[in-house]
Amino acid sequence: MNFGATILDATGTRLSAEEKAFFAQANPFGFILFARNIENPDQVRALTSEMREAVGRDAPILIDQEGGRVQRMRAPHWREWAPAREEIARAGAHAEEVMYLRSRIMAYELREAGVDTNCAPLVDVICADTHEFLTHRCYGDDPVRVAQIGRAVADGLLAGGVLPVVKHMPGHGRGTVDSHFALPQTGASVEDLTRTDFAPFKALNDLPMGMTGHVVFSAMDDKPATLSPAVMSHIRDEIGFDGLIMTDDITMKALDLGLEEIARGALEAGCDVVLLCNAALEDRRRVADASGQMSDAAQARAERALAARKTPDEVDILALDAKLVARIA
């Protein structure tokens, strides 16, 4: 049986009996954690174990652990990380090495807690109009440099046994509003987009997983990328990405349709799996029913992505920490 075409979250720090029964029935491809799900290492390990036990397999468990404001696992139990843009500025010529080191250390902390997938690297390219909700998370305004640093982040995660999820496909940098609250749009030509916004995704098109952005590219379609067959085809055919594509959270205000309609629309457009966050259990049931099981093509991509998980290479994390501090200094 194929996986359910959803990635779902939990209400609290442990699964309720209702959630366990629902997850066993819905068989979501994976799960995602938020700050409300996280108290301490032992608790997170117990929760991730319950999630996997509910579906009877080693399901991927995702998190947003970028650093700065977007960081779910925090002190005192885990390291605090600077925003990516700040870290890269401090690192200067050592930016790639620094971002690799911190991603490798992040991967260690994630794996220790039972988390094996991180929604990074973020390779959206900064431009003059990029909304402030995104700028501190970005790696820069040069597509080539952004791709190089994105590769370092992905390599650090993979070396630590954590799957990277490149985002936000095919580029969120021209968004002038926060897609959590409104729908970003850009009228840039396909030629300009190809030269800038799309370029890092093409350079990283071999990564196992990607996440869409809820952005309208009016030169291609009047629908946001997540719901646009034209944009999704461009991601597959022109950018050349054949990894598993998940949506960004479909509860974000950029998408103003009903949740079931969004889920069906995203899958019909070409996404492989629907991400639903911060929803009541009944909404999770409805979206899981609307999404159904993965298509055979999506299942094949999912299995390839899971096969990219590997046993972490053996490293001295304290030595890596010291090296990271020295490089930043």
Catalytic annotation, residues: 180, 248
Instruction: Work out the number of other CB atoms within 10 angstroms of the CB of residue 202.
Output: 16
Among all chains, which residue has been given the structure tokens 């997983």? Answer: 209
Q: In whole angstroms, what is the distance from residue 17 CA to residue 22 CA?
A: 9
Tell whether the torsion through CA atoms of 196, 216, 234 and 150 is positive or negative: positive
How far is CA 313 from its chain centroid? 23
Which residues does 296 contact at the CB level (< 8 Å), separation at least 6? 2
How much is the CA Rg of the chain, to the nearest whole Å? 19
Which residue's structure tokens are 């819905």?
26
Contact 98, 327 (CB under 8 A): yes
Residues in the chain: 329
